[in-house]
Structure 1
Amino acid sequence: MTAQTTSPTTTRNAPAGHVPAYAAPAASAPLERTTVPRRPVGEHDVLIDIKYAGICHSDIHQARDGWGEGIFPMVPGHEIAGVVAEVGPGVTKFRVGDRVGVGCMVDSCRTCDACRAGLEQYCVKGNVQTYNALDKSGEPTYGGYSRQIVVDEAFTLRIPDGLSLDVAAPLLCAGITTYSPLAHWNAGPGKKVAIVGLGGLGHMAVKIAHAMGAEVTVLSQTLRKKDDGLRLGADHYYATGDDATFEQLAGAFDLIVSTVSAPLPFDRYLGLLKTDGALVNVGAPEEPVSLNVFSLMLQRKTLAGSAIGGIAETQEMLDFCAAHGLGAEIELIGADRINEAYERILASDVRYRFVIDAATI
C-alpha cells in the first residue's frame, strides 16, 4: 500500500528544515526538482553535505514501481558520498569535515541475531532503507538525490582518503553488493569466478574479484565490452549469446555472480558450475524465474542470493577498495540529466555508473 505523505514543497528557496532534492512525484513520473524535509540533528546523528550520489538500477525499479507500490513522492539514491557538516552531542565516530558515505540502509532493529552479528542487511524485523521506506517514527525516508541528509552515526561510513568522493559514491551499493558475495563464497587465489553482466554492478565485481586474486571470467550477451572487461581485470570474456559458450565452459567455475536484473535461464548457467559450485544472484529481476531442481541436485550445486552487506563489512569493502585503488568507472552528470540517465541505463548506454554532482541539485 502506498503511504500517505505530505508532498515536498516545490519552492526554490527551501523552508527551514527542508533541502533541495530531485523526486519522482508519482510512479513512473519524471523526476523533478523540489525540496524535502530533513529531521533535526539528534544525539547520535550526523548532518552530511552530499557531494555526489550514484544512480543505481534499483532506483529505476523503485521509482517506477517495478518491485511493488512505492512511497511517493520518492527521492531515490543510496550511493551517497559527502562531508560531515554537523554532529550531534553524542557522536563519537565522526567530526565536522570528515569524508563519509551512506549506503542502502539507515537503521535496523539492532537487537535481532542478524543485527548483533553485524548483518544489519538481514535484520529480522527489516532494516530501514535509505529511501522508499518509513523510519522508526513513521516518517518517509528520502535518499541521496538531495543536498543534505541526516543519518545516525552507526549507519554512516568513513570514506578513506585514497578514494575520490565521486568514484567512491557507487561503492556504497555497487561495491558492497558485489564484495559481500565474493568474500562470503571465498573468491581468491585458485578460484575460478564468473561475473554475469558488465554493468554498474558487474564492472565492480570484476575489479574486486581480480583484486582478491581469483581467475575472473565475464559472461556477457555479446563481446561488445570485451576490451573494457579485460582492462578492468577479467582474464577471459565470453558471449552468452553464443551457444558454444555453454558447451565450452561446462563445469568450469567455482562461483558465478549474476549482476543482471533480467531473468536468466538458470539451468544453463548452473551447468557452468563445478561440483559444490554456487550461483549467486545480486541482480533483482522484476519477473519470476523458473528452475529444474535436477540442475542443483546432480552436482550438489547452490543457487543463492545476496543483499548488500552489513555496516562493518561495508567499511571493510571501502578500505579494501582504497588499498587496491578501486573506484567506480563513472560518468558525472548534472541533476537536470537524471531522467535522461534513467533511459540510458535501461538502454545499457553507460560505462559504468552515472553519478550526480549534488551541487547541481
Structure 2
Amino acid sequence: MSASLKDVARLAGVSIKTVSNVVNGYAYVSPKTREKVEQALAQLDYRPNLTARNLRGGRTGIIALALPELDAPYFAELSRSVIDAAAEHGWTVLIDQTDGLLDRERQVLQGIREQMIDGLIFSPLAIGEEDLAGRTDRTPMVLLGERVLDGPTDHVAIDNLAAAREITAHLIGLGHTRIAAIGAQDRPSAGTAHLRLTGYRQALEAAGLPFDERLVASTESYRRRDGAEAMGRLLALPEPPQAVFCFNDLLALGALRTALTSNLRVPEDIAIAGFDDIEDARYSTPTLTTISPDKVAIARSAVELLDERLKGVGGSPPPREVRVDHRLRIGESTAGR
C-alpha cells in the first residue's frame, strides 16, 4: 500500500499538519523541518491522493482545453505546453476540437460535460462578445487568441500587430520593396488575419512604401496547400513580389514549395517569412524566418489565471488581459546561409 501522511509524519518525527504544509507548498515551515519531511517523503515514495484532495475541495482535478484544430502544429505544440503547466497543479487536461465552427464553440461556452471540469482554456474563432455575454455556465474560463479582445473574461495573447510590423520591417530592411502577404481573410471571425494584415500595412506605411492590393493573397484556411496555391498566383503577376510574409508557418512552407518548384532560389530570388515558429520551420530547407510566440508562457499564463480564479485570489477581480512576448527568429529563408 502507498504511504500516508501519517506514515511520513511518524518517520520525520513531526505532526501530520506539518507534513501537509510541506506537501501543499506552504511557506511557514522551517528549512530544517522541511528538509526532514522531504527526506521522509522521498524514502517512503509518498504519492498524494489527488482524487481525495479534489473531492474535499469540491473539484474534479480536470480542466478542459478547447482548440480549433488539433492537427495544426501550432495548436499541437500549445496543447503540450498547457498539459505540462497543468500537471504542475496536479490537473488532468481534457481536450476538445471545435473546428472553428460557431455551433460547436457555443456548446463549449455553455458547458463541457457539466460538473466534470473545474476550468476551461478556450481558443475560439467564431464566437463574439455577444456569445460571451450570454454565457450561463459559471466554470472559470481563460480565452486565447485574437477573436475577442477586451471581452468579459480573462484573456492571453501576443501582440499580433507589433509582430506583423516587425517581420514586415525585417523584409523591408533587407532592401525588398515589393512585399506580398499570404493569409488575408474577409470573414468577421478572422481576427488573427485582420491584425496581421494591419501590421503588414503599418510597416509598409512607416517605410514609405505603397500598399498594393494585388500583392495580398487571400486563403480559405492556413494549410500548406493554401500557401502553395497563393504563391502560384503571386508568381503569375506581371511583377512578382521580391518577398512574402505568410500569416503562419504552414502557409510559408507551402509557399516555399511552390517557389522551389518554380526554379526560384530562396532567399536570393524571393524571400519568405512565416509566423508561429513551429518545429517544422526549423527543419525545412531553407529554414524559415518566423515570429516565435512564447507558447510556454501563453500556456503558463492561462493556467495561472485559471488557478487564481479557482482559488479566489483577490476576490472576483475584473477580466485580466495578459500580453505574452514574441521574438523574430531569423532563418535561411530571408537571410540565407
TM-score bracket, shorter-length normalisation: 0.3 to 0.5
Question: Relative to total residues, which structure has the larger strand share, 1 or 2?
Answer: 1
TM-score normalised according to structure 1 size: 0.32
- Give 1 or 2 for the bigger CA radius of gyration: 2
TM-score normalised according to structure 2 size: 0.34
The answer to which structure, 1 or 2, has the higher relative contact order (CA under 8 A, 6+ apart) is 1
